[in-house]
Amino acid sequence: MCQEANYILGQDVIDAFKNAYETEQSVTGKDILQQLIENAQIAKNESVPMCQDTGFSVFFIEMGQDVHIEGGSLEDAINDGVRKGYQEGYLRKSIVGHPLERQNTGDNTPAVIHIRVVPGDKLKITIAPKGGGSENMSAIKMLKPAQGVEGVKDFVVETVKEAGPNPCPPIIVGVGIGGTFEKAALLAKEALLRPVGEPSSDSYAADLEQELLELVNKLGIGPQGLGGKTTALAVHVNTHPAHIASLPVAVNINCHASRHKEIEF
Protein backbone atom coordinates (compact mmCIF):
# COMPACT_ATOMS: atom_id res chain seq x y z
CA MET A 1 0.00 0.00 0.00
CA CYS A 2 2.84 2.40 0.85
CA GLN A 3 4.51 1.75 -2.48
CA GLU A 4 1.39 1.81 -4.65
CA ALA A 5 0.14 5.01 -3.03
CA ASN A 6 3.42 6.69 -3.98
CA TYR A 7 3.67 5.17 -7.47
CA ILE A 8 0.09 5.33 -8.75
CA LEU A 9 -1.88 8.57 -8.75
CA GLY A 10 -5.64 8.14 -8.64
CA GLN A 11 -7.60 8.56 -11.86
CA ASP A 12 -9.70 11.24 -10.14
CA VAL A 13 -6.60 13.44 -9.77
CA ILE A 14 -5.42 12.79 -13.33
CA ASP A 15 -8.88 13.64 -14.67
CA ALA A 16 -8.78 16.86 -12.63
CA PHE A 17 -5.43 17.72 -14.25
CA LYS A 18 -6.90 17.13 -17.70
CA ASN A 19 -10.00 19.23 -16.97
CA ALA A 20 -7.83 22.04 -15.61
CA TYR A 21 -5.64 21.87 -18.72
CA GLU A 22 -8.67 22.53 -20.90
CA THR A 23 -9.73 25.62 -18.93
CA GLU A 24 -6.33 27.03 -17.92
CA GLN A 25 -5.55 30.23 -19.82
CA SER A 26 -1.89 30.57 -18.86
CA VAL A 27 0.50 28.99 -21.37
CA THR A 28 2.95 28.23 -18.58
CA GLY A 29 0.14 26.82 -16.45
CA LYS A 30 -0.99 24.51 -19.24
CA ASP A 31 2.58 23.31 -19.73
CA ILE A 32 2.92 22.52 -16.02
CA LEU A 33 -0.37 20.61 -15.96
CA GLN A 34 0.76 18.56 -18.96
CA GLN A 35 4.03 17.78 -17.17
CA LEU A 36 2.11 16.62 -14.10
CA ILE A 37 0.07 14.24 -16.27
CA GLU A 38 3.26 12.89 -17.85
CA ASN A 39 4.96 12.61 -14.46
CA ALA A 40 2.10 10.51 -13.11
CA GLN A 41 2.31 8.19 -16.10
CA ILE A 42 6.08 7.73 -15.71
CA ALA A 43 5.70 7.01 -11.99
CA LYS A 44 3.07 4.35 -12.69
CA ASN A 45 4.89 2.72 -15.60
CA GLU A 46 8.30 2.60 -13.92
CA SER A 47 7.12 2.04 -10.30
CA VAL A 48 8.93 5.09 -8.99
CA PRO A 49 7.64 7.81 -6.63
CA MET A 50 5.65 10.57 -8.31
CA CYS A 51 7.30 13.03 -5.87
CA GLN A 52 10.59 12.93 -3.98
CA ASP A 53 8.68 13.71 -0.76
CA THR A 54 7.04 10.36 -0.13
CA GLY A 55 5.30 11.74 2.90
CA PHE A 56 4.31 11.06 6.46
CA SER A 57 2.39 7.78 6.47
CA VAL A 58 -1.11 8.75 7.62
CA PHE A 59 -3.61 5.92 8.11
CA PHE A 60 -7.37 5.95 8.51
CA ILE A 61 -8.75 2.70 9.89
CA GLU A 62 -12.41 1.69 9.96
CA MET A 63 -12.57 -1.34 12.22
CA GLY A 64 -15.78 -3.34 12.49
CA GLN A 65 -16.90 -3.84 16.07
CA ASP A 66 -16.96 -7.60 15.46
CA VAL A 67 -13.34 -7.69 14.32
CA HIS A 68 -10.65 -9.11 16.59
CA ILE A 69 -6.96 -8.72 15.74
CA GLU A 70 -4.86 -11.79 16.55
CA GLY A 71 -1.11 -12.33 16.69
CA GLY A 72 -0.12 -8.84 17.81
CA SER A 73 -1.33 -5.26 17.76
CA LEU A 74 -2.80 -3.51 14.74
CA GLU A 75 -0.57 -0.49 15.33
CA ASP A 76 2.58 -2.63 15.31
CA ALA A 77 1.43 -4.35 12.12
CA ILE A 78 0.87 -1.03 10.37
CA ASN A 79 4.27 0.30 11.38
CA ASP A 80 5.92 -2.94 10.28
CA GLY A 81 4.24 -2.55 6.89
CA VAL A 82 5.42 1.05 6.59
CA ARG A 83 8.95 0.01 7.55
CA LYS A 84 9.09 -2.72 4.91
CA GLY A 85 7.25 -0.73 2.26
CA TYR A 86 9.51 2.29 2.48
CA GLN A 87 12.74 0.32 2.68
CA GLU A 88 11.97 -2.20 -0.06
CA GLY A 89 10.31 0.39 -2.29
CA TYR A 90 13.21 2.85 -2.03
CA LEU A 91 10.89 5.53 -0.73
CA ARG A 92 12.39 8.53 1.06
CA LYS A 93 12.40 8.29 4.84
CA SER A 94 11.27 11.65 6.19
CA ILE A 95 10.37 11.09 9.84
CA VAL A 96 12.42 12.27 12.81
CA GLY A 97 11.88 10.55 16.13
CA HIS A 98 11.77 13.73 18.19
CA PRO A 99 10.48 17.03 16.76
CA LEU A 100 13.28 19.03 18.41
CA GLU A 101 16.24 16.62 18.43
CA ARG A 102 15.60 15.86 14.72
CA GLN A 103 17.15 12.38 14.48
CA ASN A 104 15.76 10.48 11.48
CA THR A 105 14.14 7.15 12.40
CA GLY A 106 15.48 5.67 9.17
CA ASP A 107 12.34 3.80 8.11
CA ASN A 108 9.55 6.43 7.96
CA THR A 109 7.93 5.18 11.15
CA PRO A 110 6.01 5.77 13.27
CA ALA A 111 2.88 6.29 11.21
CA VAL A 112 0.00 8.54 12.24
CA ILE A 113 -2.99 6.26 12.78
CA HIS A 114 -6.64 7.24 13.17
CA ILE A 115 -8.95 4.38 14.16
CA ARG A 116 -12.74 4.50 14.10
CA VAL A 117 -14.93 1.62 15.28
CA VAL A 118 -17.88 0.98 12.96
CA PRO A 119 -20.62 -1.67 12.76
CA GLY A 120 -19.81 -4.96 11.03
CA ASP A 121 -16.99 -7.46 10.63
CA LYS A 122 -14.77 -5.70 8.08
CA LEU A 123 -11.46 -3.89 8.41
CA LYS A 124 -10.81 -1.02 5.99
CA ILE A 125 -7.35 0.52 5.84
CA THR A 126 -6.61 3.73 3.95
CA ILE A 127 -3.14 5.22 3.64
CA ALA A 128 -2.69 8.85 2.65
CA PRO A 129 1.01 9.79 2.37
CA LYS A 130 1.21 13.49 3.28
CA GLY A 131 4.06 15.67 2.08
CA GLY A 132 5.70 18.15 4.42
CA GLY A 133 5.46 21.16 2.12
CA SER A 134 1.68 21.14 1.88
CA GLU A 135 1.20 20.13 5.51
CA ASN A 136 3.27 23.14 6.61
CA MET A 137 0.85 25.48 4.85
CA SER A 138 -2.17 24.20 6.78
CA ALA A 139 -3.80 26.22 9.57
CA ILE A 140 -6.52 26.26 12.20
CA LYS A 141 -8.39 29.13 13.78
CA MET A 142 -11.00 29.46 16.49
CA LEU A 143 -13.47 31.93 15.03
CA LYS A 144 -16.20 33.68 16.95
CA PRO A 145 -19.63 32.29 16.03
CA ALA A 146 -20.70 35.80 15.01
CA GLN A 147 -18.10 35.73 12.22
CA GLY A 148 -20.19 33.05 10.55
CA VAL A 149 -19.71 31.77 7.03
CA GLU A 150 -18.05 34.99 5.86
CA GLY A 151 -15.39 34.53 8.51
CA VAL A 152 -14.87 30.97 7.33
CA LYS A 153 -14.49 32.04 3.72
CA ASP A 154 -12.06 34.81 4.62
CA PHE A 155 -9.89 32.42 6.64
CA VAL A 156 -9.77 29.75 3.94
CA VAL A 157 -8.88 32.20 1.18
CA GLU A 158 -6.29 33.98 3.32
CA THR A 159 -4.66 30.66 4.23
CA VAL A 160 -4.32 29.70 0.56
CA LYS A 161 -3.08 33.18 -0.33
CA GLU A 162 -0.37 33.07 2.34
CA ALA A 163 0.65 29.58 1.20
CA GLY A 164 1.27 30.87 -2.31
CA PRO A 165 3.52 28.52 -4.31
CA ASN A 166 4.84 26.63 -1.28
CA PRO A 167 2.40 23.67 -1.29
CA CYS A 168 3.08 22.93 -4.99
CA PRO A 169 -0.23 23.94 -6.59
CA PRO A 170 -2.60 23.03 -8.07
CA ILE A 171 -3.75 22.04 -4.60
CA ILE A 172 -6.69 20.29 -3.02
CA VAL A 173 -8.06 22.17 -0.02
CA GLY A 174 -9.62 20.26 2.86
CA VAL A 175 -11.75 22.37 5.20
CA GLY A 176 -13.07 21.22 8.58
CA ILE A 177 -15.73 23.32 10.29
CA GLY A 178 -17.09 22.68 13.76
CA GLY A 179 -16.42 20.23 16.54
CA THR A 180 -13.49 21.03 18.82
CA PHE A 181 -9.96 22.23 18.11
CA GLU A 182 -8.64 18.77 17.23
CA LYS A 183 -11.86 17.58 15.56
CA ALA A 184 -11.81 20.43 13.06
CA ALA A 185 -8.27 19.49 12.00
CA LEU A 186 -9.22 15.85 11.57
CA LEU A 187 -12.31 16.81 9.56
CA ALA A 188 -10.11 18.85 7.21
CA LYS A 189 -7.70 15.97 6.66
CA GLU A 190 -10.51 13.47 6.15
CA ALA A 191 -12.01 15.79 3.54
CA LEU A 192 -8.91 15.22 1.42
CA LEU A 193 -9.78 11.51 1.11
CA ARG A 194 -12.84 12.26 -0.99
CA PRO A 195 -12.40 11.81 -4.77
CA VAL A 196 -11.20 15.13 -6.19
CA GLY A 197 -14.14 17.38 -7.01
CA GLU A 198 -16.82 15.08 -5.60
CA PRO A 199 -19.25 17.44 -3.84
CA SER A 200 -20.30 17.04 -0.24
CA SER A 201 -23.54 15.15 0.33
CA ASP A 202 -24.67 18.14 2.40
CA SER A 203 -26.10 20.75 0.03
CA TYR A 204 -24.99 23.71 2.18
CA ALA A 205 -21.42 22.42 2.32
CA ALA A 206 -21.47 21.60 -1.41
CA ASP A 207 -22.48 25.18 -2.28
CA LEU A 208 -19.76 26.50 0.02
CA GLU A 209 -17.19 24.26 -1.67
CA GLN A 210 -18.01 25.70 -5.06
CA GLU A 211 -17.88 29.28 -3.82
CA LEU A 212 -14.57 28.72 -2.05
CA LEU A 213 -13.06 27.10 -5.15
CA GLU A 214 -13.98 30.13 -7.23
CA LEU A 215 -12.56 32.52 -4.63
CA VAL A 216 -9.31 30.56 -4.31
CA ASN A 217 -8.80 30.37 -8.06
CA LYS A 218 -9.33 34.11 -8.39
CA LEU A 219 -6.10 34.57 -6.42
CA GLY A 220 -4.16 33.87 -9.62
CA ILE A 221 -1.42 31.82 -7.92
CA GLY A 222 -1.75 29.15 -10.60
CA PRO A 223 0.11 25.88 -11.23
CA GLN A 224 3.37 25.79 -9.26
CA GLY A 225 2.75 29.41 -8.29
CA LEU A 226 3.65 30.75 -11.73
CA GLY A 227 0.28 32.33 -12.43
CA GLY A 228 -3.00 31.11 -13.85
CA LYS A 229 -6.54 30.27 -12.89
CA THR A 230 -5.83 26.78 -11.55
CA THR A 231 -4.63 27.37 -8.01
CA ALA A 232 -6.85 24.60 -6.62
CA LEU A 233 -8.39 21.55 -8.25
CA ALA A 234 -11.05 21.26 -5.56
CA VAL A 235 -12.18 22.44 -2.13
CA HIS A 236 -13.75 19.79 0.10
CA VAL A 237 -15.68 20.81 3.22
CA ASN A 238 -16.56 18.57 6.17
CA THR A 239 -18.65 19.80 9.09
CA HIS A 240 -19.49 18.66 12.62
CA PRO A 241 -21.81 19.99 15.33
CA ALA A 242 -20.16 22.72 17.41
CA HIS A 243 -20.45 24.28 20.87
CA ILE A 244 -22.63 27.41 21.05
CA ALA A 245 -19.53 29.44 21.96
CA SER A 246 -17.23 28.06 19.26
CA LEU A 247 -16.62 28.06 15.52
CA PRO A 248 -13.39 26.14 14.83
CA VAL A 249 -12.14 26.13 11.25
CA ALA A 250 -9.21 24.12 9.93
CA VAL A 251 -7.60 24.18 6.49
CA ASN A 252 -5.50 21.18 5.45
CA ILE A 253 -3.81 21.73 2.11
CA ASN A 254 -2.72 18.88 -0.14
CA CYS A 255 -0.28 19.31 -2.99
CA HIS A 256 -1.08 18.11 -6.51
CA ALA A 257 0.18 14.64 -5.53
CA SER A 258 -3.01 13.67 -3.71
CA ARG A 259 -2.07 10.10 -2.85
CA HIS A 260 -4.33 7.42 -1.38
CA LYS A 261 -4.56 3.65 -1.29
CA GLU A 262 -7.43 1.73 0.28
CA ILE A 263 -8.02 -1.93 1.02
CA GLU A 264 -10.79 -3.78 2.85
CA PHE A 265 -10.62 -7.22 4.46
When the pLDDT of each residue in the chain is averaged and rounded to a whole number, the result is 98
pLDDT in tens, 74-106: 999 999 999 999 999 999 999 999 999 999 999
**Cα distances (angstroms) measured from residue 160 to each of 164, 171, 202, 229, 236:** 6, 9, 23, 14, 14
Does the bond joining 195 to the residue before it have cis omega, within 30 degrees of 0? no
Instruction: Provide the pairing of β-strand 247-254 with 261-264.
Output: unpaired
**CA-CA-CA-CA torsion sign (105, 106, 111, 112):** positive
- Collapsing DSSP states into helix, strand and coil, what is residue 196? coil
Sequence letter at residue 47: S
Closest CA to 18 of 42, 47, 41: 41
Contact call for residues 91 and 47 (beta carbons, < 8 A): no
pLDDT in tens, 157-209: 999 999 999 999 999 999 999 999 999 999 999 999 999 999 999 999 999 99
The rounded percent of the chain whose pLDDT value lies above 70 is 100
Q: What is the pLDDT of residue 92?
A: 98
Provide DSSP, 224-261.
GGSSSS-SEEEEEEEEEEE-TT-EEEEEEEE-S----E
Alpha helices (H) along 49-102: 74-88
pLDDT in tens, 38-53: 999 999 999 999 999 9
223-256 burial by CB neighbour count: b if 16+ within 10 A, else e? Answer: bbbebbbbbbbbbbbbbeebeeeebbbbbbbbbb
Q: What is the pLDDT of residue 192?
A: 98
